[in-house]
A and B are shown apart, each in its own frame.
Chain A
Amino acid sequence: DQQVKQNSPSLSVQEGRISILNCDYTNSMFDYFLWYKKYPAEGPTFLISISSIKDKNEDGRFTVFLNKSAKHLSLHIVPSQPGDSAVYFCAAMYSGGGADGLTFGKGTHLIIQP
């Protein structure tokens, strides 16, 4: 049973436009949500996170929105730049659980077109 779902394997966006990456989860115990970015031949790098007590968190061009009632979060990148082309993983965790609790989605490959 997949607890964290990224239903779009890939997304193509024009440079300068907004990129919106979506993530759904099923476990209502999750209370932290994270986004990782991964370039080819490199490890994932932490991008931004949000606690379940918030519905929005911003960091520069990156904003994550959380809709707890819908069990849905999204990552907005504005404006999109060529260097944003990467695979983005959504991850979720329950802070009261064990250290093995970080569950990843399958990833979305974002392609920024010039």
Chain B
Amino acid sequence: DAGITQSPRYKITETGRQVTLMCHQTWSHSYMFWYRQDLGHGLRLIYYSAAADITDKGEVPDGYVVSRSKTENFPLTLESATRSQTSVYFCASSDSPLSGYGYTFGSGTRLTVV
């Protein structure tokens, strides 16, 4: 299917475990982003990527790792999950993020760390 898909939709993990959230887009957009949404904070940027093998930190990168070996995939890894990383995670993509046309978001992954 065309679009941007995230998996899994829901995930429960234990503190200290490593967990990877997947993001796949079919448009060949150059830019991809990871955001987390928390009550009282809105959407905050974790990491972004301008192209394959190019990644940069956003506002809240600590505790997260990303990679982008292929244009269409942008996985987000929590190396050692903490309760503070319980959140809803959104992946987004864009062909021209500075054009004012916005990003396209996936449906999100709700992650609970117990």
B50 and chain A: residue at smallest CB distance: A99
> Of the 9-residue stretches B11-19, B40-48, B72-80, which lies at the interface with chain A?
B40-48
Q: List 18 A-B pairs, Cβ < 8 Å.
A: A34-B102, A42-B108, A43-B90, A43-B106, A43-B107, A43-B108, A44-B43, A44-B90, A44-B105, A45-B105, A46-B104, A89-B42, A99-B97, A100-B59, A102-B103, A104-B42, A105-B42, A107-B42
Given known pairs A32-B100, A93-B100, the reply for A99 and B48 (CB within 8 Å) is yes
Shortest A63–chain B CB gap in Å is 17
CB of A7 closer than 8 Å to a CB of B: no
- Number of chain A residues close to chain B: CB under 8 A: 27
List residues of chain B with CB within 8 A of the CB of A44. 43, 90, 105
List 6 A-B pairs, minimum CB-CB distance, nearest first: A43-B105, A46-B102, A32-B100, A106-B42, A104-B43, A99-B97
CB of B2 closer than 8 Å to a CB of A: no
A45 and chain B: residue at smallest CB distance: B105
CB of A41 closer than 8 Å to a CB of B: yes
List residues of chain B with CB within 8 A of the CB of A49. 100-102
List residues of chain A with CB within 8 A of the CB of B100. 32, 34, 49, 51, 93, 95
Shortest B24–chain A CB gap in Å is 14
List residues of chain B with CB within 8 A of the CB of A104. 35, 42-44
Shortest A80–chain B CB gap in Å is 22
Q: Give Cα A49 to B97, complex, Å.
A: 13
Interchain CB contact (< 8 A) of A99 among B31, B42, B44, B107: B31
